[in-house]
Amino acid sequence: MPAASGVLYTRFMFDPPITTRNRARVCVIGGGGTGAALAYDLSLRGFSVTLLEKGELTSGTTGRHHGQLHSGARYAVGDRAIASECMEETLILRRIAPEAIEYNGGVFVAVDDDDADYAPVFVSACLEAGIPAREVPVSEARSWEPVINPAARRTVWVPDGAFDAFRMPMSFFAAARRLGAGIRSFTEAVAVDVVAGRAAAVIARPVSTGRDERIECDYVVSATGAWAGSVGRMAGFDAPITPAPGTMVAVRGRLSDMVLSRLSPPGDGDIIVPQRGLSIIGTTQRVVDDPDCVLPDDDDVEFLLKRADELAPGFSSRGVHAVWAAARPLAGRSSGDGRSLSRDFMVLDHAAPGAVPGSAGMATLIGGKATVLRAMAEKAADHVCEALGVGEPCRTREFVLPSWRDYYAEETR
C-alpha cells in the first residue's frame, strides 16, 4: 500500500489475540518511548489504556537522543547486568522492530596507550555479559570503515547498531492504538485526584480546548522521564530523578555505517553514530533542576568535534548540520555530574513502604535508556498487573510491530 510519502512499504496484519479483556483502566502519563512501549504492553494484556502527552509524541528526550542501539558493550566493564540486558533487548528489537533499526555493528577504537591497555579487560567483560565482542586487526576494521584513525592502536568489533529515535516509538504507538489505546498528544496531565489515599483520576488539559477533563482510572503510571519530579509531586510523591542533559553535534556526510566508539571507560564525546546522511558525535553530561529548554553549553561543540577527530580524523572539517541537547532521566539523586548514578531503571510504587507520602494506585517509571524501552514497559506492566490482581503475562516479545507509518494511517481512517 502506498505510504503518504509515496514510498511503497509492506503492510501486514498486526492482529495479536487478546486473551482476556479486563475492565481495568490505566492512565499512562508521558508520550516518549517508555510510555509508548508501556501503552502497547498494557493494551496487549487487555487493559483499557489512555496515554497523555503534553506536547507532540516523542518531543521529550526520546526524539532527541543519539540513536545508538546499545549492545551493552559500553557498560560491560562497569555493570555486567545492564550490559546483558542491553544485549538481550537489542536482539528482541531487531526481531520485532526491524524497520526502525540499522544493524551494521560497531567498532571500539583504542587511540592511545591507555585505551590499548583497556582492550583485554573490555573484551572479557563483554564476553562475560554475553556480548560476542572480538578484537580484530586495525587494518581489518579500517577495511570496513576507512574513516577510523590510521594511528589506532587496537580495534574491537561489537554488535552495536543505530536506530531511528522517532520511528521506533511510533511503531509501539501504532501497535497500542491498533489495540484500542487512546493516545492523546498535546494533552497535559495537570493534577492527580487522590480519593481516600488512592489515585482515582488524572485531570487532563488538552491544548486545543484548554478545558480540564477528568480521566477516571484504576491505576496511573508516570512515564515522564526527566519530568517525573513534577508529575510525582501532583500526587504527593517525591520521585528521585536527576535530569542530566547531554549535547550532540551532527555533521553533514555519513562517515561510517558502523557505530564508532572510544575503547575506554565511558566518558564524554566518545561515540559517533551514523543517522541517514549525517554523523553524530556525542555526548556530554551535566545536571540541571529543570529539564525544559536545555541548551548546549558554549564549549560543547568545540570539545565534541575535537574528540570526534581523535576517532575519525577530518570529522570536524565537515559542515555542522545541527547542535542540540536533551536531558537523561537518571534514576536517583546526585549532587555531582550524575556519573555516579546507575543507568538502570526503577518502577517506584508511590505507596511502597518508606515512600514519602504518596498515594496508592500510582507508580513512577524512571531511568533506563531508549534501547531497553520494551523491558522497562514489561517491568512496569507486571507491576500494574500485580497491583490490580490481573494475571496476564507479557507478550511483547512475540509480535513484529506494525510500521511507524501505520500510526498515521490509523489516524486518517
Q: Which residues of this chain interact with ligand FAD, rule CB under 6 A? A: 29-35, 52-55, 59-62, 65-68, 70, 188-189, 223-227, 231, 246, 248, 282-283, 326-329, 368-371
Between 55 and 182, name the residue whose CB sits nearer to ligand FAD. 55
- Amino acid identity at 169: P
| DSSP state for residue 412 in the 8-state scheme | T
Q: How far is the CB of 390 from ligand FAD (least distance, A)?
A: 23
Distance between CA atoms of residues 133 and 141, nearest Å: 13
CB of 37 to ligand FAD, least distance (A): 8
Using CA atoms, how far apart are residues 59 and 251, in angstroms rounded to an integer? Answer: 22
Nearer to ligand FAD, 226 or 384 (CB): 226
**Residue with Cβ nearer ligand FAD (51 or 110):** 51
Least Cβ distance, residue 56 to ligand FAD (angstroms): 8
Supply the minimum distance, in Å, between the C-beta of residue 116 and ligand FAD: 25
Q: Which lies closer to ligand FAD via its Cβ, residue 113 or residue 298?
A: 298
Q: Which helix (H) or strand (E) holds 301?
A: helix 300-311
Residue nearest to ligand FAD (CB): 32
Query: What are the residues facing 219 on neighbouring strands?
Result: 26
Q: Which residues contact 250 (CB under 8 A, 6 or more apart)?
A: 275, 278, 279, 280, 320, 321, 322, 323
Q: Identify which of residues 46 and 225 has a Cβ nearer to ligand FAD in the complex.
A: 225
HEC states along 35-95? HHHHHHHHHHCCCEEEEECCCCCCCCCHHHCCCEECCCHHHCCCCHHHHHHHHHHHHHHHH
Of 122 and 227, the one with the shorter C-beta distance to ligand FAD is 227
Smaller CB separation from ligand FAD, 116 or 191: 191
Torsion of CA 177, 9, 104, 296, to 10 degrees: -60
Q: How far is the CB of 136 from ligand FAD (least distance, A)?
A: 23
In whole angstroms, the minimum distance from the beta carbon of 89 to ligand FAD comes to 9
Residue 352 Cα distances to 45, 208, 215, 344, angstroms? 24, 37, 24, 19
In our burial notation (b when 16+ CB lie closer than 10 A, e otherwise), range 347-362 reads: bbbbbeeebeebbbbb
Smallest distance from the beta carbon of 233 to ligand FAD, in angstroms?
Answer: 10
